[in-house]
Structure 1
Amino acid sequence: MTFPTQIDQNLVKALLKALESGEPSQAGALLDELTQVRESELYQRVSELTQNLHQTLDGLNDSTLLLQTKHDIPDAAERLEYVINMTAEASNKTLESAENALSLMSSLQEITCNSIAGSDTEILLKTINKVNSELTEIMLAQSFQDLTGQVLNRVIMIITSLEQSLIHLIDQSTHDYASIPDREESAEDKTSDEMKGVGPNVTAKSKNGSTQSQAEVDDLLSDLGF
């Protein structure tokens, strides 16, 4: 970024003369004067940039960015949180099942050693050890959940920070964030979004008006006379 030069050459010459003459106080005063000129140019340019930004925001008539800030960004963050919760739940269930299976295999190993004799015992014990090894691998593989959860949480933090920055910019303009309308989507638009990979109803807002459990489904059918 460049700035127009408004530095008086006489001031520069006087500064050099003061330095050569060993007059530090005079040199300092001249240097302060030169610095003030530069600062004044910087302040002027920053003021112009700020004014241009406000004018750009005030003239923002395209509702796309406004709707994305209020609806799409929070929706994306909530969907990521849903992914974190679902993977954590699935991981916990897998770990619990694997631990139960290991316990059962331990019992089976004990029974084998006490009740079966001969060459069959060795075969069964090798099979049990192999199953135990596979179950242990399954449990170790569940460590992915912690790593992916940390990554997704970081992404959520970035998205949320971006959202707050955009909200601040909108509030600095003539637009009112609170008055931004809801999205109006037809059934065809929703179906199209799901086909594109948006996914099913997983956010609190998207679940409005939908049944949440089998009991609610039964009540709804009962109300309809079925």
Structure 2
Amino acid sequence: MDREQLARRLESLHQAALGGDWGEVEHGLQELDAAKTAAFAQGIRKMASDLYAEMRALQLDSRLARAAAEIPDACSRLDAVIELTEQAATRTLDLVEDSREHIVALQDMADEMAPGAAAEQLVERTATLRKNMSSLYEAQAYQDLSGQIIRRVMTMVGNLDTTLKDMLDLAGLSPATLDEPEDEALLGPAAGRTDNRPAASQDDADALLADLGI
């Protein structure tokens, strides 16, 4: 119902009210309410149809599906990063504790030595080692914080993955319907490693960050 039709209908209802034809007034009001509801529903349908058409026109469907298929693998790699970092931090802290015991032993030996240049140098170097071990221990304490940050990012990415899959379902698409991408020589940590390569290297780390778009 356009504006002119609405104006004419309202005028007819006004005349019906002046003439005391309340049945016609009630019927007209119901008709106007139904027209408003129908227009609203039509607008919603058009909006949904336009959104679907835009997704198709922009050819985002395959890229969204590809992203939804690759996000779980990215999260798995991030989880592997956390695991490797935790293992390295634990190993470092164990070595720090072991080194502290040796530093204490060296300090005791220096105290028992006769005064002289050698004893003084030993005391100085022992103090330096003790300071370095303390700094190293404190530096590793940040590992837990970085792990928490990465896990929060993984949660956020997981939520994005769920949203993408919901959008794909709405569009009648699915990551499973896509052709599998060709295997690439991806470096970096992966779950269930069965080869004999080192667990990680700088090249592995750089490749992993590049894969994640960082």
TM-score (norm 1): 0.61
Alpha carbons of structure 1 residues 43 and 144: separation in structure 2 relative to 1, 3 Å = farther
Match of 2:173 among 161, 167, 175: 175
Cα distance in 2, alignment partners of residues 179 and 83 from structure 1: 30
Aligned counterparts, 1:182-197, within 5 A:
182-185=180-183, 190-191=184-185
Match of 1:119 among 116, 120, 126: 116
CA contact (8 A) 1:58 1:174 kept: no
2:106 alignment partner in structure 1 = 108
1:91-139 Cα shifts (integer Å, max 9, x gaps)? 11111111110111111212222x3111343432222112101110011
1:157 alignment partner in structure 2 = 155
- Structure 2 residue 193 is matched with structure 1 residue 203: no
1:64 positional shift: 3.1
Instruction: Give RMSD over aligned pairs.
Output: 3.7
Alpha carbons of structure 1 residues 112 and 40: separation in structure 2 relative to 1, 3 Å = farther
User: Is there any run of 5+ residues in structure 2 with no aligned partner, and where?
Assistant: 11-32, 198-214
Match of 1:212 among 180, 192, 195: 195
1:154 positional shift: 1.6
CA contact (8 A) 1:171 1:177 kept: no
TM-score (norm 2): 0.64
CA contact (8 A) 1:57 1:174 kept: no
CA contact (8 A) 2:77 2:189 kept: yes
Percent identical across equivalent pairs? 23
CA contact (8 A) 1:79 1:202 kept: yes
1:63 alignment partner in structure 2 = 62
1:144 positional shift: 2.6
1:90 alignment partner in structure 2 = 88
1:145 alignment partner in structure 2 = 143
Cα distance in 2, alignment partners of residues 91 and 39 from structure 1: 63
User: Is there any run of 5+ residues in structure 1 with no aligned partner, and where?
Assistant: 11-34, 192-198, 215-226
Deviation above 6 Å: which 4+ runs of structure 1?
Answer: 35-41
